[in-house]
A and B are shown apart, each in its own frame.
Chain A
Amino acid sequence: SQQGEEDPQALSIQEGENATMNCSYKTSINNLQWYRQNSGRGLVHLILIRSNEREKHSGRLRVTLDTSKKSSSLLITASRAADTASYFCATDATGNQFYFGTGTSLTVIP
């Protein structure tokens, strides 16, 4: 399978703490994306990072990409209860389609 794998599978933190989740993938990519999925809803695009980029920020989100290790991380700073969701990475090994991992389930405790 070409899909990425997120780690950890589940993460529980207190409100205000930072949350870090990781994604590893198997083949060379053009870009990598992170998505959030609230329970019972569709996925929402968070951020896209290209293979020639090492870090991107969007609000409280920080994504890093290390193509030599075939890995990416998503950091959510100062977490809120509303950040409780599943987070998925997606990679585009073939260009026109993305492969998704199985996700990290994040619980932020108020």
Chain B
Amino acid sequence: DAGITQSPRHKVTETGTPVTLRCHQTENHRYMYWYRQDPGHGLRLIHYSYGVKDTDKGEVSDGYSVSRSKTEDFLLTLESATSSQTSVYFCAISLNVANYGYTFGSGTRLTVV
């Protein structure tokens, strides 16, 4: 998707290991979000950011942390991966949520074994 990239696209990791997913944007949008998508649950918000070093928790934030040291990068870290964190993770950006929708990345498929 134009202006937003996620890396890696796929990752398999072992239980108990730390994992960091990266979201990079070139749109200079203020808002950035991390969602996870699981069958039967739709998309659920993990964390979001409304500016550099400004972040807040979403509805499923336990076991996750985020950092945003630059406007263009939003990192999601699983401190100690568990099998319940096997999911597809999507990053999204928005200029202004009152007037614009999200632009989503292509997703990261994470498998914790």
| Chain B proximity mask over A16-57: 1 for CB below 8 Å, otherwise 0 | 000000000000001101010000011111001000000000
Q: Are A102 and B41 in contact (CB under 8 A)?
A: yes
Q: Are A44 and B41 in contact (CB under 8 A)?
A: no
- With A92-B97, A97-B33, A97-B58 as given contacts, are A44 and B104 in contact (CB-CB < 8 Å)? yes
In the assembled complex, the CB of A105 is this many whole angstroms from the nearest CB of chain B, namely 11
Q: Secondary structure of the A side of the interface?
A: loop
How many chain A residues touch B (CB < 8 A): the figure is 24
- Report the separation of the CA atoms of residues A101 and B48 in the bound assembly, to the nearest whole angstrom: 18
Q: Are B98 and A95 in contact (CB under 8 A)?
A: yes
In the assembled complex, the CB of B107 is this many whole angstroms from the nearest CB of chain A, namely 6
List B6-60 residues whose CB lies under 8 Å from chain A. Answer: 31, 33, 35, 40-45, 48, 50, 56, 58-59
Contacts of A96 in B (CB 8 A): 31, 48, 50, 56, 97
Q: Are B43 and A100 in contact (CB under 8 A)?
A: yes
- Report the separation of the CA atoms of residues A99 and B33 in the bound assembly, to the nearest whole angstrom: 12
Q: Are B98 and A31 in contact (CB under 8 A)?
A: yes
CB-contact partner of B45 in A33, A45, A99, under 8 A: A99
- Report the separation of the CA atoms of residues A82 and B5 in the bound assembly, to the nearest whole angstrom: 24
List B67-113 residues whose CB lies under 8 Å from chain A. Answer: 90, 92, 97-107
Contacts of B90 in A (CB 8 A): 42-43
Q: Are A95 and B97 in contact (CB under 8 A)?
A: yes
Q: Which residues of B does A touch, CB under 8 Å?
A: 1, 31, 33, 35, 40-45, 48, 50, 56, 58-59, 90, 92, 97-107
Selected A-B contacts with CB under 8 Å, 12 pairs: A1-B59, A31-B98, A35-B102, A41-B107, A42-B90, A42-B107, A45-B103, A88-B43, A97-B33, A97-B45, A100-B42, A103-B42
- With A48-B101, A98-B102, A100-B44 already in contact, 18 other A-B pairs whose C-beta atoms are closer than 8 Å: A30-B98, A33-B101, A33-B102, A35-B104, A41-B107, A42-B90, A42-B105, A43-B104, A45-B103, A48-B99, A48-B100, A92-B97, A95-B97, A96-B97, A98-B45, A99-B45, A102-B40, A102-B41
4 closest residue pairs by CB, A with B: A45-B101, A42-B104, A102-B42, A100-B43
